[in-house]
Structure 1
Amino acid sequence: MLKSNLKIIVSIFPEKAQECGLMCSMLNTCKNITAIEINASCPNIYESILENEKKVIQICNIAKHQAKHPLILKIGYSHSINMIQTVSQHIEAIHAINSVPWPIVFPNKKSPLENYGGGGVSGPIIAEFSRKKVSELVKKTNLSIIAGGGIASHNDIKIFQQLGAKACSIGSAFFRPWKPNRIIK
């Protein structure tokens, strides 16, 4: 891929904040990279959201000083607007959201992945959660927003555009390989 003309967004999230500088330095030599995405959105992390947010702030700060590429922060539904506003000086865009933690979508049901961090819910069922988060981000930040989560039709993309998203990402729809082409037409 690096020999082609493809534009690549590399997604990283170091285990330790200090590793971020090394990762960014290594990526600085790659010419086809359009941006680096700091993926703080995994619902299966064992640290609390508060611990995760402190780490995200450190990582974004280190990345801003080490990376030559624009930075995108991919957030989860539970990340606070305060954390996002804190890191907004270090990033160019927000990618929201990956998935929604199981207990938020199904508060009275035990997750089948409870022993593995709890798991996250994705697909059309989280569309309203995604729209709420994107709407909040558009109102409370000056960052470009890449909207994701719950996109199952072209109409879903239009709704995100109306909310102010600059771009959209498709995830779960790829489980049906023909679906993304139908969504973007």
Structure 2
Amino acid sequence: MFPLTLKLSYRKFVKKVLETKTTVIAESATRFKIVGNYQIRKPWTWWIYVRKLPRMSLLNAFGLTNDGIEKCAKKILRSAKKGFQVIPSYFPEFSKGLDIAIKEALEAIAIYQSELGDYFFALEINVSCPNAGEDVSKNMSQAVACAKAIKARHPDLTLIVKLSYLHPISLAEELERVGVNIIHGINTIPYGEVFPNKQSPLHKVGGGGISGGLAYPQALEYNTKLSKRVSIPLIMGCGITDLISLGEYKDIRGNGNSVSICSLVRLNPTKAIMAIEISN
């Protein structure tokens, strides 16, 4: 994960993840390759689409740059063979039409099964990406239909659905009804939701979403409401910057639920190591 791989503290974090068998959710992939706004061969694009904000926060407008399912599955396999516990994340492109999106999602699962074998134990469906050019606030019915189709074809697959802050809690309730096993809430919070009267520093590239401390109050409130409305396990996240905020997330539900620390890893790998240590 450039440029983090240049930091010794990040490499120590990766070692700790391996030692503790901490679960990693892969970056979201699409059925076919997408060249988004950030490109690994053009590392300067990182600085165009990401800004550091106060209170250990990040603003990012990354698109869904990825190599497509076939190559992503092979990368996951390499990591799994090294001992990492990796869950693939798939982004269904509803802009292609619901039927095509479901067809491609089922194709993706078949590829994961073929490539990963026993290493394929769960799948996250990401319907939350704010920078994918789709209106995530209006994709609820498609998300439910996609999840329902996957569970109908693969009833034994542990299915996770990642929600957006823009999604109503009722979406999680409907996903539980159609058989989704775990809800992941949430992704970043759109800049305009955190600062409704300010122009985003990344307004020329879509505005972006905030993670880290600035997003924490709203993210914690959303996850707290979510925990009261569904009974299935949760992966709660967005806004964790220290052990105190981590503890407050853990206090929402207690055992049987998980917490994601994506931004903390990027901003302070050493604190991320501490978070893993007290969680294992």
Q: TM > 0.5 between the two?
A: yes
User: 1:43–1:118: 8 Å Cα contact kept in structure 2?
Assistant: no
Q: Deviation at 1:50?
A: 4.3
**Poorly superposed stretches of 4+, deviation over 4 Å:** none
Is 1:179 the counterpart of 2:267? The answer is no
User: 1:5–1:32: 8 Å Cα contact kept in structure 2?
Assistant: no
Correspondence for 1:71 among 138, 159, 166? 159
Is 1:57 the counterpart of 2:144? The answer is yes
* Structure 1 unmatched runs, 5+: none
1:6 corresponding residue in structure 2 = 84
The CA distance in 2 between the partners of 1:50 and 1:134, in whole Å, is 17
The CA distance in 1 between the partners of 2:83 and 2:262, in whole Å, is 23
The CA distance in 1 between the partners of 2:82 and 2:259, in whole Å, is 24
Q: Deviation at 1:49?
A: 3.4
Q: Give SS of 1:91's match.
A: coil
1:109 corresponding residue in structure 2 = 198
Amino acid at match of 1:147: M
Amino acid at match of 1:42: C
Q: Deviation at 1:72?
A: 0.7
Correspondence for 1:44 among 126, 131, 134? 131
Can you list the C-alpha shifts for 1:60-108, whole angstroms capped at 9, x where unaligned? 1222123442011111111112222111133111111111111110101
Is 1:26 the counterpart of 2:104? The answer is no
How many correspondences in the alignment? 185
Q: Deviation at 1:115?
A: 3.6
Correspondence for 2:234 among 135, 145, 150? 145
The CA distance in 1 between the partners of 2:249 and 2:134, in whole Å, is 30
Q: Give SS of 2:142's match.
A: helix
* Structure 2 unmatched runs, 5+: 1-78, 95-100
Q: Deviation at 1:141?
A: 0.8
Seen in structure 2, the aligned counterparts of structure 1 residues 115 and 90 have a Cα distance that, compared at 3 Å, is farther
User: 1:25–1:66: 8 Å Cα contact kept in structure 2?
Assistant: no
Alignment RMSD: 1.8
Structure with greater helix share of residues: 2
Amino acid at match of 1:57: V
